[in-house]
Structure 1
């Protein structure tokens, strides 16, 4: 019997207010509770309650609560205790509701948590009750080709873009496309020509990674002699070639900071630039018009990429990636969650509604610093603005042992569950173990065991994964003749791995 967990929110009364209409005192610290994942299927994903403080406390905060509902603690779901401790200087902590599967038909059952008491002078907030409903459903939701557009950021997307969304969702059930950044333009030992993956396997990757960085650079003046304009033409040509081959295109955007247009790494910027870059491109910001000009360039490129079939080339757009780190100027150290969400939402609506770009899927991709759905969603702009729930992850694959590989798999389980819940696509949007021969040597079994198992175990479902680029002295996918070449060949021949030669028609909806 399959049990699915459906989440719903119940909000408490303003118990510490003078009247029910009074807001909470902004100077007090409150704790609130909510359920984070609206549904999850056992045993692959768990229900989740999240306890959140309105501000951090310098010591650990203990929260006591009552567990009620029609489901039995320890019988219908794994035992949970009646208290939780939020660590010092931390805003939130989550607990999982893990369903215990049985053969008895019991109908819907509930798990209700009601906040009772706290320490550290923390008050009970207005959201003091949350409920998880454990339901028995006959089968998992299946997306219909005719309904795919309803779950997309742009319901007016081109037919090929809608088909790409649907087919990525479909193949994620059993397979994932294997891609590489700059596969057509950057090679190990500068050995040009065919992609390094083609040299090794006989097939191009299933997905090609590209970047808007040079295209939107301030130095791109549109002259045929201009190096940046030449890169723009090369990148567009590569994207069109990939589309004509039936591959998938994804564009990241290492956008230069908006003051001098020189850097994207925060470490190379002035303190003023770091503190103000993102806020300055928001509506009403000093550099907002500058940012709109950059988006207009993105739209110009999107409108100009036409395949041999006469159709616009669909692509995945992954702006402001790894935003939970501090190495890019759009990282969490330099903006609030609300500011990041506002920037994302403006970017989507301006491209979609004002500039009428209808051949984009939008990918949201933090780095790997999250450990719960609540953390993953802390800067999430909303389902109306995201098609793909991604993750970049290098740290867990950097020869850190089995515990790190298990952690990578657990994070992919989280985004798998969220993608199922929201009818989105999960993906490992960027990853690699970067080999520099004689300095950073290959890991035995990295591809066929470490990487593949993390991407496949515990019912993980991702539409694609992308290796980072090969360069003159490093590789992320081994060309022929390297110690790890046979390992990579085993990886791409595993049941779930798909290169270009095995991709279905990604740009036509099944009849």
Structure 2
């Protein structure tokens, strides 16, 4: 690690053995050399995918980067509308802890669905209104918003799973979206829809709401049509770069941080970066990881921690944000939860070996099962204990993320 950090510092012109440099805060590596933390309020835009981002989006990048050194936000997908046993009302996390999550996960899936007509009686449009209202509520509460995109394949528009597609569709869906491809204009129409949402997503303060956008996730697997079997690394990078350029340059969307998140198959930096589109196109380096927690054990926790350590190290080298972008262990009414899953296995994976990640997002609860227990479940106290750990942050103790305080 020492050699990697020193080399990064030398190439960036920020490694120094003196203590009076004004380029940033000094930190000391385990073996002694002084390493400069080069991110400052003045230079933060130069490390972002969108140098023209709104001030609030710049502040979110800066504050998440700073927060990950000591804390991580605890979040959940669809927290305001995904409830175990359909027990609506407060989020299930609030039912358990008394506080909402610090991070809300949402999805562009229904918003961009071919069947979204924009008419008041249309179910998909109603979901669009619900999702955008949730994002506004989260922002007004000081929370952070992140959106994934379970994008339905462009031929039938029915599914994002390759198991539901023909061989022809699987082999051509991704590449058909590239410039010159048969579905490229269709793809631009979907991006236009996303741009329309983002350019009109405002909080009660009248300001555009910053959003972390996580497209084409878990690409190292092959359950989605954007998986590694269905496009080359070069093709994946090309479409990612087109997506970012189209949103920020063509559609003038400037309230987005872009998150890159494979599943958990990568254990080496070279693997992780094999489809990385470049520092100019990514703000958040993440990893989804359910597999290492599927049968929680000391070794599984250590493996997950090691992978997060790799992601966090790469993020530090690149002056980016690191995150556990999806995770969890689903529990239903017929299963006994794992003792200490949250306060032991998950917390240790997120914190051991000086891992620095800005947030963790658990997947959505549903009528039949939960990833985060509401009140009254056998592992509710375990989750409460997790949220009371020194690094965990819920909505009640999240610092304000949308201004930079020197």
- TM-score, normalised to structure 2, is 0.93
| Selected match of 1:300 from 172, 175, 196 | 196
8 Å Cα contact 1:5-1:39 kept in structure 2: no
State the partner residue of 1:335. 231
Structure 1 residues 101 and 465, CA gap change in structure 2 (3 angstroms): closer
In structure 1, the gaps of 5 or more residues are: 9-37, 41-99, 103-135
State the partner residue of 1:498. 393
8 Å Cα contact 1:432-1:467 kept in structure 2: yes
The structure richer in strand per residue is 1
8 Å Cα contact 1:6-1:39 kept in structure 2: no
Q: CA deviation at 1:371?
A: 0.8
State the partner residue of 1:6. 6
State the partner residue of 2:70. 174
1:145 match: secondary structure: coil
State the partner residue of 2:363. 468
Displaced runs of 4 or more, over 3 A? 2-8
> Take 1:497 and 1:314, find their aligned partners in 2: how far apart are those partners?
22
State the partner residue of 2:243. 347
In structure 2, the gaps of 5 or more residues are: 16-28
| Selected match of 2:35 from 117, 123, 139 | 139
> Take 1:305 and 1:357, find their aligned partners in 2: how far apart are those partners?
11
2:299 match: secondary structure: helix
1:366-392, CA deviations, whole angstroms, 9 ceiling, x for partnerless residues? 000001101100110000000000000
Q: CA deviation at 1:473?
A: 1.3
2:199 match: secondary structure: helix
State the partner residue of 1:447. 342
8 Å Cα contact 1:4-1:137 kept in structure 2: no
Structure 1 residues 283 and 467, CA gap change in structure 2 (3 angstroms): same
> Take 2:197 and 2:214, find their aligned partners in 1: how far apart are those partners?
15
The structure richer in helix per residue is 2
2:273 match: secondary structure: helix
8 Å Cα contact 1:318-1:365 kept in structure 2: yes
State the partner residue of 2:373. 478
**Does 2:284 align with 1:388?**
yes
Q: CA deviation at 1:400?
A: 4.3
> Take 1:395 and 1:276, find their aligned partners in 2: how far apart are those partners?
28
State the partner residue of 1:420. 316
Q: CA deviation at 1:137?
A: 3.5
> Take 1:400 and 1:459, find their aligned partners in 2: how far apart are those partners?
21
The structure whose RCO (Cα within 8 Å, separation 6+) is larger is 2
> Take 2:98 and 2:206, find their aligned partners in 1: how far apart are those partners?
28
The root-mean-square deviation of aligned C-alpha atoms, in Å, is 1.8
8 Å Cα contact 2:73-2:103 kept in structure 1: yes
Choose 1 or 2 for highest CA Rg. Answer: 1
**Does 2:128 align with 1:246?**
no
State the partner residue of 2:402. 507
Bigger mean CA offset, 210-219 vs 396-405: 396-405
